[in-house]
Amino acid sequence: MPKIRIGVLRGGPSNEHEVSLETGKQIIEHLPESKYQPLDIFISKEEKWFYQNKELEPVQILTLVDAVFNGLHGYFGEDGKVQKILESHQKPYTGSRVISSMAAMDKSFSRELFKKAGLKVAPGFAVKKGDDPKEILRRAVLEVGPPWIIKPAESGSSIGIGVARNPYEFVLALDSCLKDWDKIIIEKYIKGREATVAVLENFRKNSYYPLPIIEIIPANSSTKIFDYQSKYDSKTREICPGRFGDKIKGRAFESAVKAHQALGLRHYSRIDMIITPQDEIYVLEANSLPGLTKESLFPKAALSVGLEFPQLLDHLVRLAMK
């Protein structure tokens, strides 16, 4: 029986290029070789497509595959753009569809969808480049109050996130963020324990299966946030399952599934949240294409319930090809 040809997309133009290269590498190395033939499809930072070191048009490459495993992250790969290309060529692919990908990538929009679903989100608002800095600061002080989180509205891996404890730090963080991003989110910093819950569809007779909650303890005690450096820093402690009571775990699972459904996500996702000392759960954001590197949380959560990495990849491909 011929093997199923799986095109593995990796690289891409976003600032998560290197993470995507590693995600793709792990997928290529661990797809069950008895069943699949992986094809390494590299996308450059200029959005050029390469196969076997030769630049080709997407249509030329996609005719070679039966399905696509999307190992991209951030801009182009996670915001609906590459999904449009894949759908235009009628190729099944892993992960969420166009509109849901766009919704998850736009944090200001996903915040509104979370609220409509009855989920708690931190008080905050979106601003864009060109808005009056004095008016932004006024709103931040009066409507939100310190300390604040300042983060890009459309980015992954917590890239560009900052914390400000007073107006002076706020102005510096705002200026820094707006230099690199056109739209940002100002949020109340919620004190609590950071956690994440991965959601896997159609697993063990559950339409939406929440994997064990992971408690995250960043090594950087000055900020205590799970930023880009912390995500790929071996000094960050990740406890799976997290040290939460059964009631909190149950509510966290419910919140993760609700967030996944609210955005219309598909196949798998990872939902980040904060659990306060008062046991309130605030949803931070949804990751529609969770990382699959050696340091990534989704494979760790899957392994904790006995789902080995090759079997996880096989499950996701089978979902895509249904």
Is 225's pLDDT higher than 80?
no
Same domain, 228 and 293: yes
Give mean pLDDT, residues 21-50: 98
What is the mean predicted confidence (pLDDT) over 150-167?
Answer: 82
pLDDT of residue 226: 43
DSSP assignment letter at 117: T
Question: Residue 230: its pLDDT value, please?
Answer: 46
Amino acid 160: pLDDT: 76
Give SS3 for 230. Answer: helix
CA distances from 10 to 5, 24, 25, 47, 180 (A): 16, 5, 8, 11, 23
Q: Is 157 a catalytic site residue? A: yes
Catalytic residue among 20, 96, 157, 255: 157
Q: Based on the domain organization, do 152 and 277 belong to the same domain?
A: no
Q: What is the pTM of this model?
A: 0.91
67-70/54-56 β-pairing: unpaired
194 catalytically annotated: no
How many CA atoms does the CB half-sphere of 319 hold within 13 Å?
Answer: 22
The CATH number assigned to the domain holding 213 equals 3.30.470.20
- Give me the mean pLDDT over the 248-273 stretch: 98
251, 245 Cβ separation under 8 angstroms: no
Catalytic pick from 14, 16, 110, 288? 16
Is 35:63 a contact under the CB 8 Å cutoff?
Answer: no
Please indicate whether residue 221 is annotated as part of the active site.
Answer: no
Q: Are residues 139 and 112 in the same domain?
A: no
What is the DSSP secondary-structure string of 160-194?
A: T-EEESSHHHHHHHHHHHHHH-SEEEEEEPPPSEE
pLDDT score for 231: 47
Is 285 known as a binding-site position? yes
* Domain-ending residue, one of 75, 93, 111: 93
pLDDT number for residue 227: 43
Q: Residue 280 annotated as binding?
A: no
Would you state the pLDDT for residue 236? 82
- What percentage of the chain has pLDDT greater than the value 90? 88
In a domain, 98, yes or no: no
H-helix or E-strand spanning residue 40 = strand 36-43
- Mean pLDDT of all residues in 226-252: 78
Residue 232: give the domain boundaries: 103-120+191-320
Whether residue 45 sits in one domain with residue 156 = no
What is the predicted pLDDT for the residue at 233? Answer: 54
pLDDT at position 232: 46
Residues 6+ apart with CB under 8 A from 316: 69, 94, 267, 268
* Residue in 60, 79, 35, 58 with CA at minimum distance from that of residue 321: 35
* Domain finish residue from 48, 75, 93: 93
| Positions of E strands within 189-302 | 193-203, 206-210, 214-217, 237-239, 268-275, 281-287
Residue 169 annotated as part of some ligand binding site: no
